[in-house]
Amino acid sequence: MLETSSTAAIGLHGLVKSYGETPVIPGLDAELRGGEFTVILGPSGCGKSTLLNCIAGLERLSAGRITIGGREVQEEEPKNRRLAMVFQNYALYPHMTVAENIGYALKVAGVNKTERAARVAEAARVVELGDYLDRRPGQLSGGQRQRVAIARAVVREPQVLLYDEPLSNLDAKLRHDMRRELAELHRRIGATSVFVTHDQVEAMTLADRIMVLNKGRIEQFDTPEAIYHRPASTFVAGFIGSPAMNLVDVTGEGGVLRLADGTALAAHSHRGPAILGIRPELVVPAPDGLPVQITYREELGAHAVLTLRLPDGTALRMATALGQRGGLPTDLRVALPAAELHLFDPLTGKALASATPATQTKKAQHDHVPS
Ligand SMILES: Nc1ncnc2c1ncn2[C@@H]1O[C@H](COP(=O)(O)OP(=O)(O)OP(=O)(O)O)[C@@H](O)[C@H]1O
Ligand SMILES: [Mg+2]
């Protein structure tokens, strides 16, 4: 019933969107593969909703083209683009039942009553609301209402499903449950899905590929695994991961990366200034490492996050399972294993290709901080 054309790729070609003088999206090119779940991730105001609304046809492009399934759609009405959208504020009609809410668009489109009932029942089954068809929105929980909004989009059998922060009004447990249901729904119906969020956990768990947006530009568009392990810029490195990746100014010479005061921080072959990145969970205690002071500790149950002060005053965060109450000395020595280091260009913030962890040698992986 809910079979969709799962091959409707979305092409964004030289897409520009300005409101007045200011370009919110200054020129964006990307291919969203058919049948994939793409998450658009970025901070508030970076243009996520604007981009989604352009795909939906709710905003006119200032320049550029959009293709869906190879067909140019930028001049087409939203209703002719064979897509459906779930908004952040999923207003349901309070006086209509769940079934009437889900079926409303079909009714407007003139679908006959028998077919409508069958499609509504199927969509409700997909979001596990089959037993709630006669209820009104006021008699549902927030998560159930959210699922009505999703069913209302799905029932139209779109080639493309667009979601704008659809889970942001839910509590942590419901968000978790709904993430699982959305992933399952996607697996079943296979529509090309584009999901906007500023929540990195949603992005990491739902996406086939994540498009990280910063001021209307793509910082990186890749799998969650690549985004996490091979961030293309300091922006991506700092945006993904909790606590955020440490980013420290260093200078490399003679196989060593040093802080401004000359302190040797890590072994590395890079020469010249760079921004060194290391995830807090990959900073490790080492008897022969750098002496640091613990200036702050956050106990989070399973692990603790320590704020460390390096000899020159630079702060470094370390996530550790060793953080049981009283389990750590106030002074500690740590190492930054060479294999775990990321290096970025201090001017552009872009990853230095010659210095990604994957290119480190076996020997370097075993090097500790030289003195
Ligand atoms: N109709 C409009 N007129 C003028 N500026 C707008 C309009 N709509 C959005 N903007 C601006 O465009 C920028 C991007 O807005 P957009 O809503 O796309 O951000 P977003 O990434 O979805 O943010 P959020 O996470 O807060 O929803 C913002 O600076 C916003 O103020
Ligand atoms: Mg938005």
Residue 70: partners with Cβ closer than 8 Å, 6 or more residues away: 9, 11
- Residue nearest (by alpha carbon) to ligand 1 atom 25: 44
The angle formed by the CA atoms of residues 96, 192 and 77, to the nearest 5 degrees, is: 65
CATH code linked to domain 244-366: 2.40.50.100
Which ligand places an atom closest to the C-alpha of 50? 1
Q: Ligand 1 pocket by C-beta < 6 Å: which residues?
A: 19, 24, 42, 44-50, 198
Query: Ligand 2 center to residue 268 CA distance, Å?
Result: 41
Our mutation pick for probing the ligand 1 site, out of 16, 17, 25, 46, counting the most ligand atoms within 8 A of Cβ, is 46
- Residue nearest (by alpha carbon) to ligand 1 atom 1: 19
Q: Token digits for 256?
A: 């060593």
- Residue nearest (by alpha carbon) to ligand 1 atom 19: 45
Residue 164: partners with Cβ closer than 8 Å, 6 or more residues away: 48, 49, 52, 85, 86, 87, 88, 196
- Which atom in ligand 1 lies closest to the alpha carbon of residue 53? 18
- pLDDT one digit per residue (tens) for the chain, 371 residues: 343 444 799 999 999 999 988 899 999 999 999 999 999 999 999 999 999 999 999 999 999 999 999 999 999 999 888 899 998 777 899 999 999 999 999 999 999 999 999 999 999 988 889 999 999 999 998 888 888 998 999 898 888 999 999 887 778 887 888 888 888 889 888 899 999 999 999 999 999 999 999 999 999 999 999 999 999 999 999 999 989 999 999 999 999 999 999 999 999 999 999 999 999 999 999 989 999 999 998 888 778 899 999 988 999 999 987 545 556 666 789 999 999 999 999 999 999 975 545 444 433 434 444 44
- Residue nearest (by alpha carbon) to ligand 1 atom 14: 47
Q: How far is CA 222 from CA 29, 31, 159, 204, in A?
A: 14, 11, 22, 11
Which ligand places an atom closest to the C-alpha of 164? 2
Phi-psi region of 342 (alpha: psi -120 to 50; beta: other; left: phi over 0): beta
Q: Is the peptide bond before 273 cis (omega within 30 degrees of 0)?
A: no
Strands (E), 223-283: 246-253, 256-258, 264-267, 272-278
Give CATH 3.40.50.300 domain extents, the chain: 10-235
Give yes or no for a contact between 153 and 106, defined as CB atoms under 8 angstroms apart.
no
Residue type, 22: T
Which ligand places an atom closest to the C-alpha of 20? 1
Class of domain 10-235 as given by CATH: alpha beta
Give CATH 2.40.50.100 domain extents, the chain: 244-366
**172: helix, strand or coil:** helix
